[in-house]
Structure 1
Amino acid sequence: MRQRRLMNQINVVPYIDVMLVLLVIFMVTAPMIQSGSVNLPSVDKVPAPPTDAMIVTVKPQGELTLSQTSQAQPKSYNRRDLIGAVQDAVSANPGQPVVIAADKEVKYELVMDVLNDLRNAGVNKVGLQTQIGKASR
Protein backbone atom coordinates (compact mmCIF):
# COMPACT_ATOMS: atom_id res chain seq x y z
CA MET A 1 0.00 0.00 0.00
CA ARG A 2 1.19 3.43 -0.94
CA GLN A 3 1.45 6.23 1.58
CA ARG A 4 -0.35 9.49 0.89
CA ARG A 5 1.77 12.52 0.54
CA LEU A 6 1.01 15.50 2.72
CA MET A 7 -0.20 18.54 0.88
CA ASN A 8 2.02 21.53 1.56
CA GLN A 9 -0.16 24.17 -0.12
CA ILE A 10 -3.07 26.12 1.33
CA ASN A 11 -6.38 25.55 -0.40
CA VAL A 12 -7.75 29.11 -1.00
CA VAL A 13 -10.88 28.12 -2.91
CA PRO A 14 -13.15 28.19 0.20
CA TYR A 15 -11.83 31.65 1.11
CA ILE A 16 -12.57 32.94 -2.38
CA ASP A 17 -16.08 31.50 -2.18
CA VAL A 18 -16.72 33.27 1.12
CA MET A 19 -15.37 36.57 -0.21
CA LEU A 20 -17.56 36.37 -3.32
CA VAL A 21 -20.65 35.70 -1.20
CA LEU A 22 -19.81 38.70 1.02
CA LEU A 23 -19.25 40.86 -2.07
CA VAL A 24 -22.65 39.92 -3.46
CA ILE A 25 -24.31 40.65 -0.10
CA PHE A 26 -22.71 44.10 0.08
CA MET A 27 -23.59 44.88 -3.53
CA VAL A 28 -27.24 43.99 -2.91
CA THR A 29 -27.58 45.83 0.41
CA ALA A 30 -25.60 49.00 -0.44
CA PRO A 31 -28.38 50.64 -2.53
CA MET A 32 -30.87 49.99 0.26
CA ILE A 33 -28.98 52.08 2.80
CA GLN A 34 -30.70 55.44 3.19
CA SER A 35 -28.59 58.54 3.45
CA GLY A 36 -28.98 60.64 6.56
CA SER A 37 -30.97 63.84 6.45
CA VAL A 38 -29.95 67.12 7.98
CA ASN A 39 -32.56 68.82 10.13
CA LEU A 40 -31.62 72.45 10.29
CA PRO A 41 -32.63 74.33 13.41
CA SER A 42 -35.44 76.83 13.30
CA VAL A 43 -35.42 80.09 15.16
CA ASP A 44 -38.23 81.63 17.14
CA LYS A 45 -36.75 84.97 18.07
CA VAL A 46 -34.01 86.65 16.12
CA PRO A 47 -32.58 90.05 16.88
CA ALA A 48 -33.25 92.54 14.12
CA PRO A 49 -30.23 93.50 12.03
CA PRO A 50 -28.66 96.84 12.86
CA THR A 51 -30.38 99.71 11.08
CA ASP A 52 -27.12 100.90 9.51
CA ALA A 53 -26.23 97.46 8.12
CA MET A 54 -25.62 96.99 4.42
CA ILE A 55 -27.90 94.32 3.01
CA VAL A 56 -26.67 91.95 0.31
CA THR A 57 -29.60 90.12 -1.28
CA VAL A 58 -29.04 86.85 -3.14
CA LYS A 59 -31.95 86.02 -5.44
CA PRO A 60 -32.86 82.55 -6.76
CA GLN A 61 -31.38 83.20 -10.21
CA GLY A 62 -28.06 84.15 -8.56
CA GLU A 63 -28.58 87.91 -8.96
CA LEU A 64 -26.89 89.99 -6.26
CA THR A 65 -28.19 93.33 -5.00
CA LEU A 66 -26.78 95.70 -2.40
CA SER A 67 -28.60 98.22 -0.22
CA GLN A 68 -26.31 100.67 1.54
CA THR A 69 -28.94 101.14 4.27
CA SER A 70 -32.22 99.40 5.06
CA GLN A 71 -34.16 102.33 3.52
CA ALA A 72 -32.01 102.67 0.37
CA GLN A 73 -33.03 101.20 -2.98
CA PRO A 74 -31.07 98.05 -3.80
CA LYS A 75 -28.70 98.16 -6.78
CA SER A 76 -27.83 95.09 -8.85
CA TYR A 77 -24.17 94.06 -8.99
CA ASN A 78 -22.09 91.22 -10.29
CA ARG A 79 -19.94 89.46 -7.69
CA ARG A 80 -16.73 91.38 -8.33
CA ASP A 81 -18.40 94.81 -8.33
CA LEU A 82 -20.38 93.92 -5.22
CA ILE A 83 -17.19 93.09 -3.32
CA GLY A 84 -15.62 96.35 -4.54
CA ALA A 85 -18.60 98.38 -3.30
CA VAL A 86 -18.54 96.62 0.06
CA GLN A 87 -14.77 97.15 0.37
CA ASP A 88 -15.23 100.89 -0.27
CA ALA A 89 -17.86 101.09 2.48
CA VAL A 90 -15.75 99.05 4.92
CA SER A 91 -12.66 101.18 4.27
CA ALA A 92 -14.70 104.28 5.16
CA ASN A 93 -16.27 102.59 8.22
CA PRO A 94 -14.28 99.55 9.47
CA GLY A 95 -17.11 98.46 11.80
CA GLN A 96 -19.69 98.40 9.01
CA PRO A 97 -21.97 95.37 9.45
CA VAL A 98 -23.22 93.46 6.41
CA VAL A 99 -26.29 91.22 6.36
CA ILE A 100 -26.82 88.55 3.70
CA ALA A 101 -30.49 88.00 2.85
CA ALA A 102 -30.78 84.94 0.63
CA ASP A 103 -33.93 83.45 -0.81
CA LYS A 104 -34.54 79.92 0.45
CA GLU A 105 -34.45 78.63 -3.14
CA VAL A 106 -30.82 79.76 -3.55
CA LYS A 107 -28.17 77.05 -3.48
CA TYR A 108 -26.31 76.91 -0.19
CA GLU A 109 -23.00 76.98 -2.09
CA LEU A 110 -23.76 80.40 -3.60
CA VAL A 111 -24.57 81.89 -0.20
CA MET A 112 -21.35 80.48 1.25
CA ASP A 113 -19.35 81.85 -1.69
CA VAL A 114 -20.76 85.35 -1.08
CA LEU A 115 -20.07 85.01 2.65
CA ASN A 116 -16.50 83.92 1.96
CA ASP A 117 -15.96 86.78 -0.52
CA LEU A 118 -17.19 89.30 2.06
CA ARG A 119 -14.89 87.93 4.73
CA ASN A 120 -11.94 87.99 2.32
CA ALA A 121 -12.84 91.61 1.52
CA GLY A 122 -12.23 92.52 5.16
CA VAL A 123 -15.78 92.60 6.49
CA ASN A 124 -15.65 91.52 10.13
CA LYS A 125 -19.35 91.73 10.91
CA VAL A 126 -21.28 89.49 8.53
CA GLY A 127 -24.64 87.98 9.41
CA LEU A 128 -27.38 85.97 7.78
CA GLN A 129 -30.93 87.29 7.76
CA THR A 130 -33.60 84.82 8.80
CA GLN A 131 -37.33 84.83 9.01
CA ILE A 132 -38.99 84.76 12.41
CA GLY A 133 -41.11 81.70 13.02
CA LYS A 134 -40.92 77.96 12.70
CA ALA A 135 -39.03 76.58 9.73
CA SER A 136 -41.09 74.56 7.27
CA ARG A 137 -40.07 70.95 6.74
Structure 2
Amino acid sequence: MPAVAQRGQRGRRSMNEINMVPFIDVMLVLLIIFMVTAPLITTGVVDLPSVGKSRQRPQKVVEIIVGSDEKLRLRVDQKEPEGAALGQLAARVKALQAGEAEVPVVISADKSVRYETVVRVMDTLQRAGVRRVGLSVKQAGG
Protein backbone atom coordinates (compact mmCIF):
# COMPACT_ATOMS: atom_id res chain seq x y z
CA MET A 1 0.00 0.00 0.00
CA PRO A 2 2.70 2.53 0.67
CA ALA A 3 3.89 2.19 -2.97
CA VAL A 4 0.46 3.10 -4.30
CA ALA A 5 0.25 6.13 -2.02
CA GLN A 6 3.59 7.39 -3.29
CA ARG A 7 2.53 7.01 -6.89
CA GLY A 8 -0.67 8.98 -6.22
CA GLN A 9 1.25 11.83 -4.60
CA ARG A 10 3.76 11.91 -7.40
CA GLY A 11 0.97 12.18 -9.99
CA ARG A 12 -0.69 15.06 -8.18
CA ARG A 13 2.56 16.91 -7.81
CA SER A 14 3.25 16.79 -11.55
CA MET A 15 -0.29 18.08 -12.23
CA ASN A 16 0.38 21.17 -10.07
CA GLU A 17 3.29 22.31 -12.23
CA ILE A 18 2.48 24.86 -14.95
CA ASN A 19 3.88 24.29 -18.41
CA MET A 20 5.47 27.67 -19.29
CA VAL A 21 6.47 26.88 -22.89
CA PRO A 22 3.12 27.79 -24.53
CA PHE A 23 2.94 30.98 -22.45
CA ILE A 24 6.42 32.04 -23.56
CA ASP A 25 5.57 31.27 -27.19
CA VAL A 26 2.46 33.45 -27.06
CA MET A 27 4.38 36.29 -25.40
CA LEU A 28 7.12 36.19 -28.03
CA VAL A 29 4.56 36.28 -30.85
CA LEU A 30 2.83 39.28 -29.24
CA LEU A 31 6.19 41.03 -28.79
CA ILE A 32 7.01 40.57 -32.48
CA ILE A 33 3.57 41.84 -33.52
CA PHE A 34 3.95 44.99 -31.38
CA MET A 35 7.49 45.60 -32.63
CA VAL A 36 6.32 45.44 -36.24
CA THR A 37 3.18 47.59 -35.78
CA ALA A 38 4.66 50.27 -33.46
CA PRO A 39 6.43 52.26 -36.22
CA LEU A 40 3.25 52.24 -38.33
CA ILE A 41 1.14 54.00 -35.68
CA THR A 42 0.82 57.72 -36.41
CA THR A 43 0.99 60.04 -33.44
CA GLY A 44 -1.39 62.96 -33.13
CA VAL A 45 0.12 66.37 -33.71
CA VAL A 46 -0.87 69.06 -31.24
CA ASP A 47 -0.32 72.64 -32.35
CA LEU A 48 0.35 74.49 -29.10
CA PRO A 49 -0.04 78.25 -28.87
CA SER A 50 3.08 80.28 -28.37
CA VAL A 51 3.49 83.32 -26.17
CA GLY A 52 5.19 86.12 -28.01
CA LYS A 53 5.13 89.85 -28.28
CA SER A 54 2.17 91.35 -30.04
CA ARG A 55 2.90 93.39 -33.14
CA GLN A 56 0.67 96.24 -32.09
CA ARG A 57 -1.07 96.98 -28.82
CA PRO A 58 -4.85 97.40 -29.18
CA GLN A 59 -6.29 100.91 -28.85
CA LYS A 60 -8.42 100.05 -25.82
CA VAL A 61 -7.91 97.20 -23.34
CA VAL A 62 -10.14 96.28 -20.40
CA GLU A 63 -8.07 94.60 -17.69
CA ILE A 64 -9.51 92.61 -14.79
CA ILE A 65 -7.05 92.34 -11.93
CA VAL A 66 -7.51 89.47 -9.46
CA GLY A 67 -5.39 90.26 -6.40
CA SER A 68 -3.86 87.78 -3.99
CA ASP A 69 -6.84 88.47 -1.69
CA GLU A 70 -9.12 87.38 -4.61
CA LYS A 71 -10.73 90.84 -4.87
CA LEU A 72 -11.52 92.07 -8.37
CA ARG A 73 -10.52 95.43 -9.83
CA LEU A 74 -11.14 96.87 -13.30
CA ARG A 75 -8.61 98.95 -15.20
CA VAL A 76 -9.05 100.55 -18.63
CA ASP A 77 -6.01 101.67 -20.68
CA GLN A 78 -3.52 101.66 -17.76
CA LYS A 79 -5.64 104.07 -15.65
CA GLU A 80 -6.16 103.67 -11.92
CA PRO A 81 -8.01 100.38 -11.17
CA GLU A 82 -11.48 100.51 -9.61
CA GLY A 83 -13.00 97.84 -7.34
CA ALA A 84 -15.65 95.52 -8.77
CA ALA A 85 -17.86 92.71 -7.50
CA LEU A 86 -18.23 89.45 -9.44
CA GLY A 87 -22.00 89.96 -9.84
CA GLN A 88 -21.52 93.38 -11.46
CA LEU A 89 -18.42 92.44 -13.46
CA ALA A 90 -20.11 91.43 -16.70
CA ALA A 91 -22.29 94.55 -16.85
CA ARG A 92 -19.34 96.85 -16.15
CA VAL A 93 -17.14 95.17 -18.77
CA LYS A 94 -19.92 95.42 -21.36
CA ALA A 95 -20.32 99.13 -20.50
CA LEU A 96 -16.56 99.70 -20.80
CA GLN A 97 -16.54 97.99 -24.19
CA ALA A 98 -19.24 100.45 -25.26
CA GLY A 99 -20.78 98.13 -27.82
CA GLU A 100 -17.46 97.26 -29.47
CA ALA A 101 -17.17 93.48 -29.13
CA GLU A 102 -13.60 93.54 -30.47
CA VAL A 103 -12.23 95.35 -27.39
CA PRO A 104 -10.07 92.72 -25.67
CA VAL A 105 -10.52 91.80 -22.01
CA VAL A 106 -7.37 90.64 -20.19
CA ILE A 107 -7.43 88.84 -16.85
CA SER A 108 -4.33 89.49 -14.72
CA ALA A 109 -4.31 87.19 -11.72
CA ASP A 110 -1.75 86.95 -8.95
CA LYS A 111 0.29 83.75 -8.96
CA SER A 112 -1.11 82.71 -5.56
CA VAL A 113 -4.79 83.03 -6.62
CA ARG A 114 -6.72 79.77 -6.83
CA TYR A 115 -7.43 78.50 -10.34
CA GLU A 116 -11.13 78.25 -9.48
CA THR A 117 -11.37 82.03 -8.99
CA VAL A 118 -9.91 82.79 -12.43
CA VAL A 119 -12.22 80.24 -14.07
CA ARG A 120 -15.22 81.78 -12.29
CA VAL A 121 -14.30 85.22 -13.71
CA MET A 122 -13.87 83.76 -17.21
CA ASP A 123 -17.18 81.91 -16.93
CA THR A 124 -18.99 85.08 -15.85
CA LEU A 125 -17.61 86.95 -18.87
CA GLN A 126 -18.43 84.10 -21.26
CA ARG A 127 -22.04 83.90 -20.05
CA ALA A 128 -22.38 87.64 -20.64
CA GLY A 129 -21.25 87.23 -24.25
CA VAL A 130 -17.80 88.84 -23.97
CA ARG A 131 -15.88 87.39 -26.93
CA ARG A 132 -12.21 88.36 -26.63
CA VAL A 133 -10.98 87.22 -23.21
CA GLY A 134 -7.33 86.46 -22.57
CA LEU A 135 -4.96 85.78 -19.70
CA SER A 136 -2.03 88.03 -18.92
CA VAL A 137 1.33 86.27 -18.62
CA LYS A 138 4.80 87.39 -17.69
CA GLN A 139 7.40 87.05 -20.45
CA ALA A 140 10.03 84.40 -19.69
CA GLY A 141 13.33 85.93 -18.71
CA GLY A 142 11.73 89.33 -18.16
**Shorter-chain-normalised TM-score: which range?**
0.5 to 0.7
Question: Where do residues 1-137 of structure 1 align in structure 2 (5 Å cutoff)?
Answer: 45-47=52-54, 50-70=58-78, 72-133=79-140
> Would the aligned equivalents of 2:61 and 2:76 in 1 still touch at CA under 8 Å?
yes
Rg larger in structure: 2
**Cα 1:102/1:49, change in 2 over 3 Å:** farther
The structure 1 segments of at least 4 consecutive aligned residues displaced by more than 2 Å after TM superposition are 43-51, 89-92
Q: SS of the counterpart of 2:118?
A: helix
Q: SS of the counterpart of 1:92?
A: coil
Alignment deviations for residues 50-107 of structure 1 (CA, whole Å, 9 cap, x no partner): 351100000111100001222x111011111222101223452121210000000000
CA distance in 2 between counterparts of 1:49 and 1:128 reads 15
Shift of 1:115: 0.7
Alignment deviations for residues 15-48 of structure 1 (CA, whole Å, 9 cap, x no partner): xxxxxxxxxxxxxxxxxxxxxxxxxx9x763438
CA RMSD of aligned residues (A): 2.4
Q: Which residue of 2 aligns with 1:28?
A: none
Given the two structures, how large is their TM-score scaled by the length of structure 2? 0.57
**Cα 1:102/1:112, change in 2 over 3 Å:** same
What is the number of residues matched between the two proteins? 93
Segments of 5+ residues of structure 1 without an aligned counterpart are 1-40
Given the two structures, how large is their TM-score scaled by the length of structure 1? 0.59
Q: Which residue of 2 aligns with 1:9?
A: none
Structure having the larger proportion of residues in helix: 2
Segments of 5+ residues of structure 2 without an aligned counterpart are 1-47
Q: SS of the counterpart of 2:63?
A: strand
